A = this chain, B = another copy of it.
Amino acid sequence: MLTLDTDLQLALDLVGVFVFALTGGLVAVKKRLDLFGVLVLAAAAALGGGVLRDLLIGDTPPVGISDWRLLGTAVLAGLVTFVFHPGVERISKVVRVLDAAGLATFAIGGSLKALGAGVSPLAAVVIGCITAVGGGMVRDVLAGQVPEVLRREMYALPALLGSTVLVAAHQADRMSVAAIWACVGLVFVIRMVAVVLDVHAPKPLRTGELT
């Protein structure tokens, strides 16, 4: 099974975990949760997607609660948000770019791990998407709000496209380190384009509009 270089994969994972944890911490601060609430939402946002991935492929205990580097990074980001949250909000553009990078590495890394576990191609695509957006969904459900990914932004589609291309390359026996990187870049670029152009997915017509 081809994968990213281990150290690089870990570095990318940690960036994703850190940034996703910042988003979790910010939601918790907005909801006026206490320190524990901030840390839990930070960890849920950062690790929830990977925990779901590991449960879905039967790899227990999930690495997100088992490896101190991941949990430690999430807790650190939660503490940073707790103490410096006005500063974190001020650099929200930087957070958005890093968040797109996290989305990309989580989606492709999730699909790679699922393929390595021998699941069907469809499951590998779905699990990649769940790895990428699952943490944010857990964060929002715990915070009592409809998951942002369902409401506001062209967020899941880049992950879906990238994971699909990756799995297609795997099925065509064209997997390589370059292909993996291309998929990571694809997710990142599409997501950034959506952010910059403020693209949204279409909404259903209101009943009145249709008649």
Q: Which residues of A contact B (CB under 8 A)?
A: 28-29, 31-38, 40-41, 51, 55-58, 60-62, 65-68, 71, 81-82, 85-86, 89, 114, 117, 119-120, 122-123, 126-127, 137, 141-147, 149-152, 154-157, 200-204, 207, 210-211
Contact = CB atoms under 8 A, between A and B. Distances in A.
Contact of A144 (B119, B127, B145): B145
Interface majority SS on A: helix, strand, loop or mixed? helix
Contacts of A117: 61
Contacts of A151: 33-34, 37
A123 B57 CA distance: 18
B119 A157 contact: no
B123 A34 contact: no
A81 B203 CA distance: 12
Nearest to A117: B61
